[in-house]
Structure 1
Amino acid sequence: MFGRLARMDTTTYVFDLLKIILPALIVAGVIFFLIKEYLQKEQQRRLIEYRLETSKTTLPLRLQAFERITLLLERITPNNLLVRLSSAGQTAPDYHRQLLQEIRAEYEHNLSQQLYMSPETWGQVKQAKENVLTMINKAYHAMPTPQQARGTELAKRVLETLINEEVDPTAQALFSVKREAAQLF
């Protein structure tokens, strides 16, 4: 009889203990879940604030980079390049060298701007530079006697190539730069 009573007391004790522990565990679980949700929301809010603060700094830098690359592409466009660098009084080899040097210098001066644009757009810029260099090299090597020709003859050949191909070698890159810059807004 005493064993039965002890079992009943133990059973009652266990049930009473469960009556206390089970609601406490449920409340602790709910509190844990609520705190976890709050901390996640707080972290998201901080991340949004950080991105907003960062964009205040980086947006002007990115816009400046797009402006500089646009200027680079405009400066190496054959029409503008030939007008800016006069061929008067130069031999074709000297003028050829000057054109190539100017394109490479412009490009190297703006290499750091690739940090602010997508790899695809930067690839278009690199390709535009290569297209212009190729166009000038082809025009130079297509001359009958380039070593004896004048710089004006090379300039004329480059313009003829540009007209015959009917494609601006920098147009695609310029379009990509403008499209990406427009996505900032």
Structure 2
Amino acid sequence: MSDNSQATAHEEDHTGPVKTPKQLLLAAFFSFVIPIFVIIGLVYYVTSANKPAAGSVNVEKATAERIQKVGMVEIRDANREMKSGEEVYKAQCAACHAVGAAGAPKFGDAGAWGARVKTGFDALYNSAIKGKGAMGAQAGGDFSDYEIGRAVVFLANAGGGKFDEPKKPEPAAK
């Protein structure tokens, strides 16, 4: 082998796939353009799956759901006729106290109510208002605290208590 052929063979070993300036420009162009189109395609694919069909969204309802109030104010008639202890018991308390569900003392069971009656009206009333054991808090429900107090007296007196009915609260001064 001649020295000249060795030099040519040596140069060919170090050359890459790009042999002309045109190939270099095409390689540079496609190395930037193809990834951009791939990224655009992936973005389109990912975002298109979450789009609802045209006309399938009730815009007014969707807007109302997004801006709905966190809380609400309920205005009740303060001058309504107050329910008796028996009426409140039947509406609110009888579900558990009539059958003794979840450990509730049964209506009229003097043995079950005896120890509770000894704690006094205030303790029984606070248990009813704030909740105790499996019984949830009764305050803030369909009945006023005064009506809950009347139900406590009705239940406790049926179980052997001798409590007087709570006094009706005075209307707030205007």
Give the TM-score taking structure 1 as reference length.
Answer: 0.36
Bigger proportion of residues as helix: 1
Larger radius of gyration: 2
